[in-house]
Amino acid sequence: MEMATKPVIIGGRTAKKPLIAALLGGFLLLGALLSIFGLTGVAYAVPISGVGEFTVQFDKLNGSGFKMYGGVAEAGNAPQTPVFVNEMDKATIQGLRISKDFPALGIRVVIVASQPVSIDGLVQKATQINGNISFGSLTMKESYVGDTSNPVEKAAKEFTQGADSITIENGDIKTVYLFQQKVSLPGMKVYFEKLN
């Protein structure tokens, strides 16, 4: 007995309501987690990366032990994006606002802190830095790296900048990676905005 088989093409569609409910549930869980950090006031070793570019804005940042060098990082739209790697031993930020747009959902997730934020061990990989910046004991240095085929190593070691202190006013930074060894976020709020 010979059985004939016919290929069957099954079309699918995305159930938007469950998808949006699951995404919003995840964001609310993230918000609850961050709120717990806000209630206790302290979080340890907090990395934010792999979500694509997000924006960090603030009224004023005072930092110490500043270092900046070039590098390459993975971003949401490219595996090799040139970045400025900024490191600070300690930083205090007033008027902090972190936001990430999700155009497919038409929303923006926003994290704000109404009181000064203190950070130990800040590492940030930025694609753009805007603001009024002043340095204390600024050193800029170019070093011979030698014959290296690794462009990341060359960018990180060839040109470096350092300062005992840094102050940035009206900061607006586009970043793909943010890490803090210890952060205190008093008066933190997480909320959603509708994109225009």
Q: How is the chain split among helix, strand and coil, in percent rounded to 5?
A: 15, 60, 25
Neighbouring-strand partners of residue 140: 161
Binned at pLDDT 50, 70 and 90, residue 25 comes out as low
Other CB atoms within 10 Å distance of the CB of residue 111: 21
pLDDT confidence band for 47 (50 / 70 / 90): very low
CA angle 18, 38, 93 (to 5 degrees): 115
The single-letter code of the amino acid at 168 is I
pLDDT in tens, 98-137: 998 888 888 888 989 999 999 999 999 998 999 999 999 9
Q: In this predicted structure, what is the pLDDT of residue 112?
A: 93
Whether residue 26 is predicted with pLDDT greater than 90 in this model: the reply is: no
The dihedrals phi and psi of 80, each to the nearest 5 degrees, come to -130, 90
| pLDDT given for residue 18 in this prediction | 66
Q: End-to-end CA distance of the chain: give it in Å, rounded.
A: 63
Predicted pLDDT at 144: 77
- For 30, the token pair is 């993230």
